[in-house]
Structure 1
Amino acid sequence: MPEGHSVHRIARQFAANFVGRRVAASSPQGRFVDGAAQVSGQKMVDAFAVGKQMFLEFDTGDWIRVHLGIYGAWDFSGQIDMDATIASANGRMGQTNMRGTVFDAAGENSLTSIGAPRRSRVRMGELTTDSRLSSAERDSWLSSAERDSWLSSAERDSWLSSAAGAYRNPADSFPPEPVGAVRLRLLTDTVCADLRGPTACEVLDAIEVAAVVAKLGPDPAREKGKAVEARFIASVTGKPTPIGQLLMDQSIVAGIGNVYRAEMLFRAGIDPYRPGKLVTTDEAGALWRDWVKLLAIGIQTGQMMTRDGLRGKALSDALARRDDRHWVYKREGLPCRTCGTSIRLDVMATRKLNWCPTCQV
């Protein structure tokens, strides 16, 4: 399931390509015909994410709420203007573990990254040797990535060199014919966005949107400051529920999924089974601040990079292969990178959980 950073990046893609424009909406699949008809012809005026949910606002007061769930994904095609922070990925935005996924040297499969504007259609599994960037396009991509202060210039060069593919397949016509079960198609004169397989896709009014958002925990990409941190600390430390479950509760904190949950608890050295009420205020505050940091990195780079201090080849490997990005996630049976103990895989409240029984107490 896409975690919070991916959904924020999708919202930025809508902000860059749809906000301020009138949108034609349709439901090629036929399951969202009435909702699509209700918003079709309206101007999109805002696009934002809270946790794993995205909200698109239109000028008549209608909103579309989308929750991708496990199988949902957005495909973008056409003359795509890239948000300045979007420097890499594979084209399909959302679903992170679908069959046929290409190597992810360029991201967590969470957005189209080609540099723009240009007319293109990029989808997973459609990459060819003809899809590499031209020299001019690569220079443009590099200049955008150079604004990323998270990596040194040399490290960015290494990453971009290893990901020299940034991929594109020219579309024969625009808009393209719908492929698969497209629940919702949003279309301007230059850009098309197709939604497939979401858990939720519905039209709401402003009051209903406010009610949905009110049920969600804080999202550090939208709410900042000590008061927000204090709200998180109070929610966590006041409950007997294991901290590993609390971090996955979207009413406690919005946007965390399996990957970030496992990695944050390892980084904090906290046993996922420890009750929230036994997590100290200092520990809970440190967890929140780590989430603020990791979410910002994920939004900026498109990758759930959770290992600190990597340099040179180690950093290049981690940027190119997700197996090298994490401390414990999906490393069950392998030795802990810190102590050598075998990483465990448990099931906590129906969700998989990786952790180190030695490092996490």
Structure 2
Amino acid sequence: MPEGHTLHRLAGLHQRRFGGGVVQVSSPQGRFADGAALVSGRVLVRAEAWGKHLLHHYDSGFAVHVHLGLYGTFTESAGPLGDPVGQVRMRMIGRGQGEQLYGTELRGPTACAVLHPPEVAALTARLGPDPLRADADPDRARARIARSTRPIGALLMDQAVIAGVGNVYRAEVLFRHGISPYRPGRYLTAAEWDALWADLVELMAIGVERGAMHVVRAEHDHGAPAYVAGKPRTYVYRRAGEPCRVCGSPVAHATLDNRNLFWCPACQPG
């Protein structure tokens, strides 16, 4: 599932290409036909992301909400677009405020729906602070973590606690700070939380800028292969049984809340 930086990068791209202009929206597949009719021909005022959710706000007050889930993807291209290929849930075509025509096609999302303003407010109210948003309040997440006996590895993945953090950032930021994923949230110190949050802000911003995760510090990155060709190099994520890049101990693997968990027992004790 794409992590938060991917949605922020998409929001920025859609804002540049379609923002401020009239957008033609359709649903070649048909499953979003009623929603598309509500916003097609309207001006896209703003595209934004909140955690793993993408929102397209139109001048009518409606917003299109997209959650990519495990299989959703956007395909971007310069216009004009040819006939749709495959199951295209939503197609957008517009010029924004420029002369170049652009199109994007959405396939396979978990959610694609038109929301009224109160529904948008309800959606964002149930999400935790997003490290990539300027209006994020990390103290709100810290307060929930400080009261919780749940493992910090579970809390970081809870979108009601922190929005946008997925399995890769969870594993890597805990390793970078030497914190066991099993430590109860209430035993995380204020200083440790401040450092974790600051690191998430920096790492996820790099993901937005470069379009890829960069989580291994230069002094530990010796050109070893990624866990899968074309994927980023990581400290522990999907490296079970391989030697830790720092201490050489085997990277451990388990499941936590039905999600794969990776960590170094030597570098992240307790």
By the TM > 0.5 criterion, same fold? yes
Deviations 1:212-236 (A, max 9, x none): 11111111221357xx232222121
Name the structure 2 match of 1:9.
9
Which is further off, 198-207 or 187-196? 187-196
Q: C-alpha displacement at 1:303, in angstroms?
A: 1.2
Name the structure 2 match of 1:255.
164
Name the structure 2 match of 1:303.
212
Name the structure 2 match of 1:63.
63
**Aligned 8 A contact 1:232 1:288 in 2:** no
**Aligned 8 A contact 2:212 2:232 in 1:** no
Q: C-alpha displacement at 1:309, in angstroms?
A: 2.2
Matching of residue 222 in structure 1 with residue 146 in structure 2: no
Q: Secondary structure at the match of 1:28?
A: coil
Distance 1:193 1:316, change over 3 A: farther
Name the structure 2 match of 1:92.
none
**Selected match of 1:178 from 64, 84, 93:** 84
Q: C-alpha displacement at 1:341, in angstroms?
A: 1.1
**Aligned 8 A contact 2:224 2:233 in 1:** no
Q: C-alpha displacement at 1:322, in angstroms?
A: 5.4
Matches within 5 A, 1:158-307: 174-188=80-94, 190-223=101-134, 228-307=137-216
Q: C-alpha displacement at 1:286, in angstroms?
A: 1.2
- Between Structure 1 and Structure 2, the one with more strand by share is 2
Q: C-alpha displacement at 1:321, in angstroms?
A: 5.9
For 1:17 and 1:358, how far apart are their aligned partners in 2?
A: 47
Name the structure 1 match of 2:246.
338
Letter in 2 for 1:287: L
Q: C-alpha displacement at 1:316, in angstroms?
A: 11
Q: C-alpha displacement at 1:274, in angstroms?
A: 0.9
For 1:317 and 1:332, how far apart are their aligned partners in 2?
A: 14
Matches within 5 A, 1:63-82: 63-78=63-78
**Aligned 8 A contact 2:152 2:182 in 1:** yes
Letter in 2 for 1:292: V
Q: Secondary structure at the match of 2:74?
A: strand
Name the structure 2 match of 1:21.
21
**Aligned 8 A contact 2:74 2:104 in 1:** yes
For 1:192 and 1:49, how far apart are their aligned partners in 2?
A: 19
TM-score by length of 2: 0.92
For 2:90 and 2:211, how far apart are their aligned partners in 1?
A: 24
Distance 1:224 1:286, change over 3 A: farther
For 2:134 and 2:151, how far apart are their aligned partners in 1?
A: 25
Letter in 2 for 1:325: R
Distance 1:22 1:323, change over 3 A: closer
Deviations 1:228-273 (A, max 9, x none): 2322221212100110000000010010001000001101111111
Name the structure 2 match of 1:327.
235
TM-score by length of 1: 0.69
- Residue ranges of structure 2 left out of the alignment (5+ in a row): 96-100
Letter in 2 for 1:210: A
Distance 1:324 1:54, change over 3 A: closer
For 1:224 and 1:52, how far apart are their aligned partners in 2?
A: 16
- Equivalent residues, number: 263
Letter in 1 for 2:261: L
Letter in 1 for 2:171: A
Distance 1:25 1:265, change over 3 A: same
Deviations 1:66-111 (A, max 9, x none): 00001000001115xxxxxxxxxxxxxxxxxxxxxxxxxxxxxxxx
Letter in 1 for 2:119: E
Q: Secondary structure at the match of 2:42?
A: coil
For 1:39 and 1:64, how far apart are their aligned partners in 2?
A: 8
For 1:316 and 1:349, how far apart are their aligned partners in 2?
A: 30
Name the structure 2 match of 1:51.
51
Q: Secondary structure at the match of 2:218?
A: coil
Name the structure 2 match of 1:352.
260
- Residue ranges of structure 1 left out of the alignment (5+ in a row): 80-173
Letter in 1 for 2:152: I
What RMSD over aligned residues (CA atoms) do the two structures have, in Å? 2.0
Give aligned-pair identity as a percent. 48
